[in-house]
């Protein structure tokens, strides 16, 4: 973590395009920023003009208004051009977000005084290979998952670390996660929780059958190759985006990304554990009373 004070001057406020309350809240945030004499632009994350301006380094901060999915979309946009992200949570969980809807006005006063710092989080790069041909590559903030597709039957997969065979799996899939992703799908599959400042890849099998059933934390700098051994029922899914079909003997190489995501944080780095404890004590997705 890099605890350097951060004082933005050019701010874009981007809402989830399908959340009407997020769009309204984003407009209020942009107006609040303008009232304090800073330049700001308001829009949605599917606005192509807004996206082009972010890519061309026209802003030094993007405020993402929505939930964790909104922040993931913002990270895919902002990480390649090193634009920091500040999330305002209107969703359910908010693992990636420190600020709730009812507190952004007070928190933004701290932001505009320079009382914040930048947290750097690792991303991973997943590349799809068929024989000697690369069919595409993608960056992920949470995870790259090789899992079963259309048919309800387990896959046969192998995993090699730095060119050496680790193990073979008969399972519904295998998750290659970042430390950020350790609190997402990997956590639901029984994996360990890693603090966000680490730069290790986490491997977690999904419903393994008579196979290694424990998560494996790779050394920093290590890469993993996941090979499909079965009949082509496998797909690759990166950060929950559209699945990509995999054929028998296709490989997915996963390594540390070419860039990472930057997040604006407040208070001390211990926020991660406080946020984690709050979510573990009560999962709002379940809808149960406290």
Active site residue 231: no
Contact 256, 109 (CB under 8 A): no
Q: How far apart are the first and last CA of the chain?
A: 34
Q: Cα separation of 58 and 56, whole Å?
A: 6
Q: Which of 65, 108, 72 is nearest to 89 (CA)?
A: 65
Partner residues linked to 156 by β-bridges: 170
| Helical H segments across 36-184, by residue range | 48-55, 68-78, 104-112
The DSSP element (H or E) to which 144 belongs, if any, is strand 143-148
Distance CA 271, CA 231 (A): 45
* DSSP tag of 35: H
Q: Which of 44, 30, 95 is nearest to 73 (CA)?
A: 44
Catalytic residue among 47, 60, 68, 239: 68
Q: Which residues pair with 165 in a beta bridge?
A: 160
- Please name the residues in contact with 43: beta carbons below 8 A apart, sequence gap of 6 or more: 12, 13, 14, 15, 49, 50
Q: Residues with catalytic annotation?
A: 68
């Amino acid at each position: 973590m890099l605890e350097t004070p951060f004082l933005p001057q050019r701010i874009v406020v981007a809402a989830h395009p399908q959340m009407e309350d997020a769009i309204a809240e984003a407009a209020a945030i942009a107006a609040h920023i303008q009232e304090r004499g800073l330049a700001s632009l308001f829009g949605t994350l599917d606005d192509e003009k807004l996206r082009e301006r972010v890519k061309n380094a026209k802003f030094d901060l993007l405020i993402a208004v929505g939930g964790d999915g909104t922040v993931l979309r913002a990270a895919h946009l902002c990480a390649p051009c090193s634009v920091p992200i500040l999330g305002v949570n209107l969703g359910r969980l908010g693992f990636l977000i420190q600020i709730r809807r009812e507190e952004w006005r007070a928190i933004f006063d701290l932001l505009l005084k320079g009382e914040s710092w930048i947290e750097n989080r690792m991303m991973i790069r997943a590349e799809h290979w068929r024989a000697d041909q690369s069919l595409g590559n993608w960056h992920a903030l949470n995870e790259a998952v090789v899992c079963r597709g259309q048919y309800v039957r387990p896959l046969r997969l192998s995993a090699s670390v730095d060119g050496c065979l680790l193990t073979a799996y008969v399972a519904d899939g295998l998750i290659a996660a970042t430390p950020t992703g350790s609190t997402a799908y990997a956590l639901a599959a029984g994996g360990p929780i890693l603090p966000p400042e680490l730069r290790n890849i986490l491997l977690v099998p999904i419903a393994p059958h008579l196979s290694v059933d424990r998560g494996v934390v790779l050394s920093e700098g290590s890469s993993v190759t996941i090979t499909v051994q079965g009949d082509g029922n496998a797909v690759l899914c990166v950060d929950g985006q559209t699945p990509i079909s995999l054929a028998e003997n296709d490989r997915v190489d996963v390594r540390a990304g070419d860039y990472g995501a930057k997040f604006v944080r407040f208070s001390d780095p211990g926020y991660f554990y406080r946020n984690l404890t709050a979510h573990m004590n009560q999962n709002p997705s379940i809808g149960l009373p406290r």
